[in-house]
Amino acid sequence: MSGPAGLGRSIPLTFSARRLPMDTMVHRAVSERPERRALKARAFRRNLVQAAIIAAVAALMIGLGYAIRSSLAARGIAFSFGYLASGAGFEISEGYAVAISTPLGLVPFSSGMTNAQALTVGLFNTLKVAILAIVVATALGTLLGVGRLSTNWLVRQLCFYFVEFVRNTPLLIQLTFWYIAVVLQFPPISAAAGFPGVILSQQGIWLPSIAATDTATGPGIIIFLLALVLGVLSAFISGGKRRWVIVGLSAILLLGAVIVGGFPFTIDIPEAGRFRASGGTMLSPEFTAILIGIVVNSSAYLGEIVRGAIESLPRGQWEAARSLGLARNDIIKDIVLPQVFRVILPSFGNQYIGLAKNTSLGIAIGFPDLFNVYGTVANQTGRSLEGIIVVTLIYLLISLGISATINRLNARIQIPGAR
C-alpha cells in the first residue's frame, strides 16, 4: 500500500511541477502583449512625427525654391550656374587658383581665369588662415588656460584680464584695431624695422622661406618630400620594428635624393630695398591682421576651455603627484594635460568650426577670403543668389570636415573601455 500510495501522491506533484512553468509562461505572454503593443504604438507615433517634420521641411524648401524661381522668371532672370565658367575679369591681390594642368595644381590668379577659379583663390586664402590660426590659437589657448591657474599672481592676473577683454569685445572691432592701429602703423619699406631674417613694413611682413635650388629636379624634389613624409609618419606608428623600417627607408630616400641631385632646397632670406623687399615670403597687411585677430580672439575662448577642464580634475591627483615629489610643471605636463586633452577636444572642435567661419570677416579689412571674392563675383555677374548657395555649401563642407577630423581624433585618443 505504501508503494502505490507513495506513487499516487507523487503523480499530482509531478504534474503540478510541469503545469507551473506553463502557467507562468502563459501569464507572462498575456501580460507582455499590451506592453509590446504600447511600445510599437509609441515607436510608430515617433516615426510618424519625424516623417511629418521631414516632409514639412522638404515642402518648405520646395516652396521657397519655387517662389524664388518664379520671382527671377518674372524679372527675366534665369537661375543658372553657368557664370562659374565665364571669365572673371578682375584681379585678386593674393592667393592661388586651382589649375589641374599644372604639376602642383596651383597657379597665381589672373583676370583671364574663370569665376570658379576665382572662388578657389578665396577658398585657398580661407583655408590658409583657418589652418594657421587653429595651430597657433591652440598653443596660445593652452598657455592661457594654464596661466589662469598659475601660482604667480602677475601671470594669473594678466591672463585673466586678457581673456576677459578679448571675450567681451566684438571680433570685428578687434580685426579693425589690429589692421588700422597696429599693422598699418609699421614703418615704410625704406625705413623698415629689420630683425635677423624678418622685415616689418607697411607693405607687409617678409619672412625666410624655403626655395628650390637651381640644380633641383622634379624627381629629386618628389623623392625628398616623400622621405620627409615617411619620417613624419614614423612618429605616429606604434611598434618598434615597423617604425625603424620606415625610418630607415626615409633615410635611404633622403640620402639618395641628396647624392643624385644635391640638396634640392635652400633658405631664401628677404632683403629690404628702397621701394620693396626681395626674397623670402611676404605676409600681406590684411593677412597679418586677420591672422593675429582670429588667433587672439580664439585663444581666449580656448584658454577658458582648458582652465575649466583643469579645474574639473580631482584635486587628489594633484596631491598624489606632489606626494611623489613632482614639480608643478611636471604635474601639468605629464599628468594634467594628457587627461585634459581627452576632455576638451570636442569643445575645441566647436571653436575650430567657429574660427573657420570667422574668416569671412576678412572682408572688413580687404582680405580676399572666400566671402570677399564671392562679393566681387556677384557684383561682376549679378549672380548673387547662385553665388551665395555655392559659398554656403563650401563653408558647410569645411565645418563638416573639421567636425569629422575632431571626432576621429577624439575616438583615437580615448582610453579603450573608458566612457
Residue 344: CATH number of its domain: 1.10.3720.10
Provide the pLDDT for residue 240: 57
pLDDT in tens, 382-393: 888 889 999 999
Average pLDDT score over the chain? 82
How many of the other CB atoms lie within 10 Å of CB of 151? 7
Provide the pLDDT for residue 227: 67
Whether residues 300 and 336 share a domain: the answer is yes
Cell readout for 38 is: 504600447
Which tops the pLDDT comparison, 233 or 366? Answer: 366
**Which pLDDT band holds residue 326 (cuts at 50, 70, 90)?**
confident
Cell readout for 374 is: 564671392
Instruction: Determine which helix (DSSP H) or strand (DSSP E) holds 267, and give its type and residue range.
Output: strand 265-268
Provide the pLDDT for residue 253: 66
Return the top range by mean pLDDT from 28-42, 66-80, 243-257.
66-80
Provide the pLDDT for residue 352: 96
Last residue of a domain, one of 268, 292, 317: 268
Whether residues 10 and 132 share a domain: the answer is no
**Which pLDDT band holds residue 269 (cuts at 50, 70, 90)?**
confident
95 belongs to a structural domain:
no
337 belongs to a structural domain:
yes
Whether residues 288 and 346 share a domain: the answer is yes
Give dist(CA 321, CA 335) in Å, integer. Answer: 8
313 belongs to a structural domain:
yes
70 belongs to a structural domain:
yes
Which tops the pLDDT comparison, 242 or 277? Answer: 277
Provide the pLDDT for residue 235: 59
Provide the number of structural domains found in the chain: 3
380 belongs to a structural domain:
yes
Whether residues 396 and 256 share a domain: the answer is no
Q: Which residues contact 345 (CB under 8 A, 6 or more apart)?
A: 406, 409, 410, 413
Whether residues 35 and 52 share a domain: the answer is yes
pLDDT in tens, 235-257: 565 555 666 666 666 667 666 66
Range of the domain at 178: 123-208+273-413
86 belongs to a structural domain:
no
Whether residues 75 and 221 share a domain: the answer is no
In 115-161, beta strands by DSSP E: none
- The structure's pTM equals 0.77
Whether residues 137 and 243 share a domain: the answer is no
Alpha-carbon separation of residue 258 from 225, 229, 230, 287 (angstroms): 12, 16, 16, 35
| Backbone φ and ψ of 412, nearest 5° | -75, -35
Give dist(CA 76, CA 64) in Å, integer. Answer: 18
Which tops the pLDDT comparison, 163 or 26? Answer: 163
Last residue of a domain, one of 18, 46, 79: 79
Q: Tell me what the mean pLDDT of segment 307-320 comes to.
A: 84
418 belongs to a structural domain:
no
Whether residues 56 and 5 share a domain: the answer is yes
| Per-residue pLDDT at 215 exceeds 70 | no
Give dist(CA 145, CA 351) in Å, integer. Answer: 15
Whether residues 74 and 204 share a domain: the answer is no
Amino acid at 223: I
Whether residues 346 and 237 share a domain: the answer is no
Give dist(CA 398, CA 390) in Å, integer. Answer: 13
Give dist(CA 395, CA 400) in Å, integer. Answer: 9
Question: Would you list the DSSP string of 328-394?
Answer: HHHHIIIIIHHHHHHHHHHHHHHHHHHHHHHGGGGGGGT---HHHHHHHHHHHHS-HHHHHHHHHHH
Amino acid at 408: R
Whether residues 310 and 402 share a domain: the answer is yes
Give dist(CA 372, CA 395) in Å, integer. Answer: 13
Provide the pLDDT for residue 7: 44
| Per-residue pLDDT at 173 exceeds 90 | yes
Whether residues 170 and 306 share a domain: the answer is yes
Last residue of a domain, one of 268, 289, 316: 268
Q: Tell me what the mean pLDDT of segment 74-95 comes to.
A: 86
110 belongs to a structural domain:
no
Which tops the pLDDT comparison, 55 or 317? Answer: 55
